[in-house]
Amino acid sequence: MKISVFGIGYVGLVQAAALAEVGHDVLCVDIDAARVEALEQGIIPIYEPGLERLVVENHGAGRLRFTADPEEGVQHGYVQIIAVGTPPMEDGSANTRYVMAVAGAIGRAMTSEKIVVSKSTVPVGTCDEIHETITAELDRRALRALGFHVVSNPEFLKEGSAVSDCMKPDRIIIGTDSADAEAVMRELYAPFNRNHEKMIFMDVRSAELTKYAANCMLATKISFMNEMASIAHLLGADIEQVRLGIGSDPRIGYDFIYPGIGYGGSCFPKDVRALIATAAKAGAEVNILKAVNQRNDAQKRLLFELVQQRFEGQLSDKTFAVWGLAFKPNTNDMREAPARVLLEALWDAGARVRAYDPQAMNECARIYGERPELVFCDTKEHALCGADALIIATEWKSFRAPDFALVRKALRTPIIFDGRNLYNAKQVAVHGLEYRSIGRPETI
Ligand code: NAD
């Protein structure tokens, strides 16, 4: 099947590569000409495990191509997938400007029937707007008879495991009221639907809301656990024991109940705020979502507050080793990363940072530029040299079993502030290290 994918970011590039891998003929379109040029040369703009091989091989086989020309994109695909960003606006609502720009481009250039698929996370009602935008362009060109359908097909991939999520999706949500569009979507995803039925069909608005409901539910689980952690801390309980205790109930389960320093990334924070904004416009009261958002904002500052308390506000002459910058492991993405709140608070307090992250240091350098209070280190051990204490902000696997004796020796003050509860407190204490984590008793 001929497919065009607009937007070559985390979602567009991974989904395009997955569709090409199963044999579809995919043309990717992006307004960022430098990105298109780089991809043509095999340079992958984002880090995702397994992505480079998929892109390079399928590009080599001619099934995955790139262009900065939207018209070429519109001409190529029977299926037109919109996977551009929907960043937050000042009031928290999602900005659908880029989505509508693609819809306009499709309406201006289409000369044959199309299935237009909205894969971006968009507020309920956006597919209707896409439909109106394309219709208006067709009217202008006196081509109203040209057939097209707009389908909602929200994406559920997780950064860090995006390739395997796309190759083996848990579910494929399709919102459409057209039998023809349903048949095309079945054919498009048939290669991903062999093991068992994963496709769930529903009306367009329900599909649009399903994406927000899923992300808001997951964000709620995280904020709930973080709230429990703050209670545990004050009451002298250990949230990690509590986590194991409640996770054993199958109605609750072990997934997504890790306490920490808040959720980040390009989706949860913006999607929670966007649904709050959508609900407000619709006149719905959303106390839970507001609380989820507030808890997360507070949680992101917690690690800095632990550091500030321990050093009694005297941070201006201190240097901290920071392990982890990405908002979660296996990605280089730092959008809304808790580490950013930490770094900025440390700098505001006059402290310096020696940072290490396996993938996100280039991204961090791009965001903050060169500055004396930020030094990037080649290894996690190198980051410890000359540091007063160690702070852990991301749970990369390579941080799970450090050489504690070396950590103890390298730090001026032997303390670990662990924002991800990676270690067994007793084990850390054996090495003479002070240990402060989230929702657990402090150990000296
Ligand atoms: P991204 O910022 O990584 O990529 C978006 C791309 O779209 C950029 O390369 C940009 O240059 C391009 N673009 C903008 N306007 C364009 C236009 N008119 N024509 C062609 N290209 C254009 O974004 P992302 O993280 O891939 O997210 C895309 C959408 O998918 C968002 O709505 C997001 O909420 C949703 N989503 C993201 C994830 C995730 O984990 N990142 C998961 C599920 C859903």
Tell me the ipTM for this assembly. Answer: 0.99
- Using alpha carbons, select from 388, 228, 377, 372 the residue that is nearest to residue 308: 388
Pocket test for ligand 1, best of 35, 51, 84, 211 (most atoms within 8 A of CB): 84
173 lines ligand 1 (CB under 6 A): no
- The pLDDT score that the predictor gives to residue 29 is 98
Q: Which residues of 158-172 are buried (b: 16+ CB within 10 A; e: fewer)?
A: ebbbbbbbbbebeeb
Query: For this structure, is 267 an active site residue?
Result: yes
The one-letter amino acid code at 99 reads V
Answer yes or no: is 374 a known binding residue: no
137 lines ligand 1 (CB under 6 A): no
Print pLDDT tens along the chain (444 aa). 999 999 999 999 999 999 999 999 999 999 999 999 999 999 999 989 999 999 999 999 999 999 999 999 999 999 999 999 999 999 999 999 999 999 999 999 999 999 999 999 999 999 999 999 999 999 999 998 999 999 999 999 999 999 999 999 999 999 999 999 999 999 999 999 998 999 999 999 999 999 999 999 999 999 999 999 999 999 999 999 999 999 999 999 999 999 999 999 989 999 999 999 999 999 999 999 999 999 999 999 999 999 999 999 999 999 999 999 999 999 999 999 999 999 999 999 999 999 999 999 999 999 999 999 999 999 999 999 999 999 999 999 999 999 999 999 999 999 999 999 999 999 999 999 999 999 998 877
The one-letter amino acid code at 352 reads R
- The pLDDT score that the predictor gives to residue 365 is 98
Answer yes or no: is 335 a known binding residue: yes
Answer yes or no: is 158 a known binding residue: yes
- The pLDDT score that the predictor gives to residue 442 is 80
Angstrom distance (rounded) from CA 93 to CA 251: 32
Position of tokens 């991939």? 157
Position of tokens 């399928």? 58
- The pLDDT score that the predictor gives to residue 142 is 94
Q: How far is CA 152 from the centre of its chain?
A: 20
Task: Give the helix, strand, coil percentages of the chain, each rounded to 5.
Answer: 45, 15, 40
336 and 269 Cβ atoms separated by less than 8 Å = yes
Backbone angles phi, psi at 114, to 5 degrees: -140, 150
Residue 42, classified by CB atoms within 10 Å of its CB into exposed (0-12), middle (13-18) or buried (19+), is exposed
**Domains within the chain, CATH numbers bracketed:** 2-202 (3.40.50.720), 247-436 (3.40.50.720)
**Ligand 1 centroid – CA 81 distance (Å):** 11
CA distances from 139 to 116, 133, 144 (A): 17, 10, 5
- The pLDDT score that the predictor gives to residue 85 is 97
Which ligand 1 atom sits nearest the alpha carbon of residue 333? 41
Q: How far is CA 245 from the centre of its chain?
A: 29
10 and 44 Cβ atoms separated by less than 8 Å = no
Which one from 28, 267, 364, 377 is the annotated catalytic residue? Answer: 267
- The pLDDT score that the predictor gives to residue 350 is 98
Both tokens of 274, joined, read: 């966007």
The one-letter amino acid code at 154 reads P
Which ligand 1 atom sits nearest the alpha carbon of residue 99? 18
